Amino acid sequence: MKIHPLTHSEELLMNILWKLNSAYMKDVMDAYPEPKPHQNTVSTFMKILVEKEFLTTEKQGRIFKYTVAIPYVNYRNFVLGNFINSYFNNSGEELVKYLHDQQLITTSQLKNFIGNITSEVTADPEKKDPVKEFVKEITSDKKPKKKEKKKEKKKKK
């Protein structure tokens, strides 16, 4: 399933739905922060999110129940991958350097983080480096094929 970027309003609505996981229109309207948009506006956005395949619908009597189809983690990885690609030349290293240069992360935090990762990797030599795996996952163009996923699952067993 291809993930499409969301507008700010769509993302605000999806954040509500990610918290609820599935909901009726009334539940969504109750969860909306003030000032609440008109119900027709929310309904239109939900229709768009169904078309973009972020939501699925289930008709229950005269009303619809909306369920999240794309988990928050998947969308976050998509947005982060696009962000790194657009602003950091598809380099996780450049992102970390920028965060450090802007003093959003300290040297001691980086050393602590790297120390935790290396101790995890050395404790279990078959365990892959999670940072490298994460950067590889969000920057790769292709999704792993089903056969590769099955092989990987078998290896873990």
Which residues have CB under 8 Å from 22's CB, separation 6+?
Answer: 65, 66, 67, 68
With respect to residue 2, please indicate whether it lies within any of the assigned structural domains: no
Whether residue 123 has pLDDT greater than 70: no
Residue 1 has pLDDT above 70, yes or no: no
In a domain, 41, yes or no: yes
Burial class of residue 104, CB neighbours in 10 A (0-12, 13-18, 19+): exposed
Give me the domain span that covers residue 28: 8-68
Does residue 85 have a pLDDT over 80? yes
Does residue 25 sit within a domain?
Answer: yes
Helix axes 92-101, 107-123, angle to 10 degrees: 140
What pTM was estimated for this model as a whole?
0.68
- Tell me the per-residue pLDDT of 126-155, one tens digit each, with 9 for 90 and over: 666 666 676 666 666 655 555 566 666 666
Task: Give the chain's domain count.
Answer: 2
Q: Which DSSP symbol is given to 59?
A: E
CATH code where residue 44 lies? 1.10.10.10
Q: Are residues 79 and 56 in the same domain?
A: no
Which tens digits make up the pLDDT trace of 12-66? Answer: 999 999 999 999 999 999 999 889 999 999 999 999 999 999 999 999 899 999 9
Non-local (6+) Cβ contacts of 91 within 8 A are 84
Q: How many residues make up the chain in this entry?
A: 157
